[in-house]
Amino acid sequence: MASRRSGRLLDGVLLLDKPVGLSSNHALQRARRAMDARKAGHTGTLDPFATGLLVCCFGKATKLSGLLLDADKAYEATIQLGSETDSGDLTGTVVANAEDFTGVTEEQVIAILPQFTGAIQQIPPMYSALKRDGKPLYEYARQGIELERPPRDVFIHQLNLLEYSPTELRVFVQCSKGTYIRTLAQDIGRALGCYGHLTALRRTQVGPFTLDSSIELEALQNLSEPEQTLIALSDLPAGLQPVNLKKEAL
């Protein structure tokens, strides 16, 4: 997602803490306007209800977008047990409820989590941007149409229980690109026999970048020199720094 408009030529990476309620592109454009930057793009979409690390690339750094789209990511996710929604999260319509549900035990949760670590397969949600015949799946879903979706291979490096209550879980997930945390929440609920859906999601890491080093959008907009928050190309972690090829090597 790149944007070419009038503004300053700035090069670097911004670690933005996306607020709830904004799409990733809206958050990016507000950051771009705060910087008065000409060219910007982000490296992986967060749903509007989700918060956390949005890596924004400016100028020459937009060439890194592909590398970071493919990078592993980490999240803290809250799963409400007892019901399932058509979208897999709190924005959807409830489509299933567990009868006489009073909760699960912590032992039950700990027992099923290992089946969702390592190499697993996920069926992408209908409410996703994946395309079929040139149209995003979510457009079919909004029309009440459900299409068959082939499972996708993903890898869950870590899945740890952070907080437990009989009807709600908070988990830490470190995973490969292409992993749907909404689908993971849904599958965990089904494995527990009680259904489940995502009620909160916070991204804490993208590749080598962590949320600890990020800045909130409102704080960025209030800075007199917001460009000072950019990580210069020369200061990027190893593997992300641009390489200048000599003319004779081209």
**Which residues are known to be catalytic?**
47
CB atoms within 10 A of CB 45: 14
Phi, psi of 74 (to 5 degrees): -130, 145
Question: How would you class 64 by CB atoms within 10 Å of its CB: exposed for 0-12, middle for 13-18, buried for 19 or more?
Answer: buried
Q: Considering only CA atoms, which of 1, 138, 152 is closest in space to residue 68?
A: 1
For 167, half-sphere exposure in the C-beta direction (CA atoms, 13 angstrom radius) is 8
Alpha-carbon distance of 93 to 200, in angstroms, equals 16
Q: How far is CA 135 from CA 48, 91, 129, 236, in A?
A: 21, 21, 9, 37
For 1, half-sphere exposure in the C-beta direction (CA atoms, 13 angstrom radius) is 18
| DSSP output for 61-73 | GGGGHHHHHTS-E
Q: Considering only CA atoms, which of 96, 144, 154 is closest in space to residue 122?
A: 154
Q: Residue 25: enclosing H or E segment and its boundaries?
A: helix 24-35
